[in-house]
Structure 1
């Protein structure tokens, strides 16, 4: 019988292996696109991602007969940090070959580590947090792979469920197909007399990101504060994301919606980098970086993703809130006209029970494209 070995990630060598496991075991799978290794380093390295100051964490690698076959990560939030409705004990980055014994060994290791720290319930995957890549793909395996959205093979949910895990929440991602009508300039809500002087839209100033970030974090945390799984996005976390995004975010990619002179909502749309990085197979060095820079300058992206969105809670389910959301959608359409090549935008993700957000998205004509699931298990039983 082949031997499965689970080892903790310690040192630079095992950390680099941890980051590249998905592209090693999922290579060639339809719907999978490898992320750049360098981008994964900024996401999972404790010294580069401020999220890790909020948790105690550990990652592991799985090998079978010496070959990398999987990975997992576990974390528990420090005292005083409690996710809304979810457990502070979480797992993430569960990737494995189609082997029940490998998955059982990985998830068992994470569970035991959390039990030793007093955990009675576990949720996941959070990779590494609710403000990162969340959930396990359960629908949309062949859909267009999208930047900063997790992908997993169709066999993995079943293997996890066989270990006693059940659904906690589903996260919905929508595909909005850009139509000829979207490229037609026509009067919108900003032209209506009752909103003309009240609603304003401005582009996020990337040259004054620290100042802008203070407003964005405030709106984001207020908007999401009652959502399941919410943990406040810290200023340092946001700036860490912003520092990474500034290299790939187009000048028109971020904007704010003001109502009566106060910022009430914002959005950030990124081009789907998988279009220009798939053939790099995760490598930036030595030849990948110049290729990436050249392609960023010249490529006409066909797909994009609404990466961040927030609207202040006080406007939820109110007429003014509906006007702000409508202005936001119209602005997305208007900006798509500046990028005639974009064929579809992914809106994601939205909690399945957040109908206040889902309804206007669906009224815009967007269709469900992917569903990611966050799981739960009672560790005491």
Structure 2
């Protein structure tokens, strides 16, 4: 085996190698049929410092692990200045940890990320964060037997051992729940939601409508305001910049289904938002990450196979909480999803200490079926 080198990414060619490396892990000698390749066109923009929204408030270094000319692993080390200002912390982060079955490379990559953060005077490192809590985050630690849904992480089980052997401990867990139409209807759950939703709608006087794709730019900006206020007090939450929110919205605009995106309004002002998205990972796994020249045809042909959605965002402005608005959202998205052929919904991710949401989803007939972990390590 050739000696191991850790190489900082300094140019566009190396950045392309970094972006493409996951194909070697999941489509290489031992292909993983559950892995879903990311869209390369989106990843290239995301990692480009001129376009990626994170670079406006973060310092990033990407690393490649090489044996000779062969790349065997990747990792990022980064500082999220917005996070540190928001939470009055002094920490760094790691992310995009991918590695072949090579324990030495795994250990050295993690040690390199720790050293990069420590050398800048920070006292702890947390991750995986790709790049922030508003992006894909957490390491899959339970639920390896099922494919990931849109914008949820996936990794080999061996990564758990790699990270924990380097002295990382649990910071917090994130849950993914699955709800199907049958469980929702059992034991009178659906009827109860209908009653609560009808009462809430009558008492609040709010109106509920589908997202207007013809006014997409306006809807995105209004949704951005709701998002940042609704999640402001959650663990690790940071304001998403408008550039980051727009990148997310426009990257997936071609795949959105406005029928399952619900807006709550008070006299024309958006005060709540539920965004569910068709699980485009179902057709994406056949695309190899490319839409051109024939990826679009594959996506269109396989789109009819989508029978699941992910409830990605649900929240209301603080002054509108505890009024039963969530019940209206559940009713509307369930009924719309049923008409669109979505028989199951993943609700994710939910913080392990968010008892209200976890108990509510369990009350809807949900089953917690995946767990993701964010790790932390003190740096001496």
Task: Work out whether the TM-score is over 0.5.
Answer: yes
Q: C-alpha distance in 1, partners of 2:347/2:162? A: 28
Aligned position for 1:131? 134
1:205 to 204, 208, 212: 212
Aligned position for 2:224? 217
Q: C-alpha distance in 1, partners of 2:115/2:20? A: 25
Give the alignment of 1:92-131 within 5 angstroms: 92-131=95-134
Aligned position for 1:362? 362
Q: C-alpha distance in 2, partners of 1:74/1:142? A: 29
- Shifted more, 75-84 versus 63-72: the winner is 75-84
- Shifted more, 285-294 versus 327-336: the winner is 285-294
Count matched residues: 373
Q: Does 1:51 align with 2:43?
A: no
**SS where residue 62 of structure 1 aligns?**
strand
Residues 11-63 of structure 1 deviation map (CA, whole Å, 9 limit, x = unaligned): 22221221122221122225322222223223322222212111011111112
Q: Deviation at 1:87?
A: 5.1
Q: C-alpha distance in 2, partners of 1:8/1:374? A: 24
**SS where residue 48 of structure 1 aligns?**
coil
Aligned position for 1:178? 181
Give the alignment of 1:72-91 within 5 angstroms: 72-78=75-81, 81-84=84-87, 88-91=91-94
Aligned position for 1:41? 44
- Shifted more, 1-10 versus 92-101: the winner is 1-10
Unpaired runs of 5+ residues, structure 1, are none
Q: C-alpha distance in 2, partners of 1:251/1:54? A: 31
Aligned position for 1:331? 332
Q: Deviation at 1:81?
A: 4.7
* RMSD, aligned CA: 2.5
Aligned position for 1:158? 161
Aligned position for 1:377? 377
**SS where residue 283 of structure 1 aligns?**
coil
Q: Deviation at 1:158?
A: 1.2
**SS where residue 45 of structure 2 aligns?**
helix
Q: Deviation at 1:300?
A: 4.0
Q: Deviation at 1:282?
A: 2.2
Unpaired runs of 5+ residues, structure 2, are none
Q: Does 1:303 align with 2:304?
A: no
- The answer to whether the 8 Å contact 2:206/2:267 transfers is yes
Give the alignment of 1:338-357 within 5 angstroms: 338-340=339-341, 342-357=342-357
- Judging by fraction of residues, say which structure has more helix: 2
Q: C-alpha distance in 2, partners of 1:31/1:188? A: 39
Q: Does 1:312 align with 2:317?
A: yes
- The answer to whether the 8 Å contact 1:81/1:231 transfers is no
**SS where residue 337 of structure 1 aligns?**
helix
Q: Deviation at 1:79?
A: 7.1
- The answer to whether the 8 Å contact 1:98/1:156 transfers is no
Residues 159-202 of structure 1 deviation map (CA, whole Å, 9 limit, x = unaligned): 11110100000001111112397699975444338726624211
- Shifted more, 141-150 versus 196-205: the winner is 196-205
- The answer to whether the 8 Å contact 2:75/2:95 transfers is yes
Q: Deviation at 1:262?
A: 5.0
User: Alpha carbons of 1:339 and 1:85: their partners in 2 closer, same or farther (altered >3 Å)?
Assistant: farther
Aligned position for 1:70? 73
User: Alpha carbons of 1:96 and 1:148: their partners in 2 closer, same or farther (altered >3 Å)?
Assistant: same
User: Alpha carbons of 1:85 and 1:365: their partners in 2 closer, same or farther (altered >3 Å)?
Assistant: farther
- The answer to whether the 8 Å contact 1:82/1:88 transfers is no
User: Alpha carbons of 1:44 and 1:179: their partners in 2 closer, same or farther (altered >3 Å)?
Assistant: farther
User: Alpha carbons of 1:107 and 1:3: their partners in 2 closer, same or farther (altered >3 Å)?
Assistant: same
Residues 193-244 of structure 1 deviation map (CA, whole Å, 9 limit, x = unaligned): 8726624211122222332223212221112111111110111211111111
Q: Does 1:265 align with 2:266?
A: no
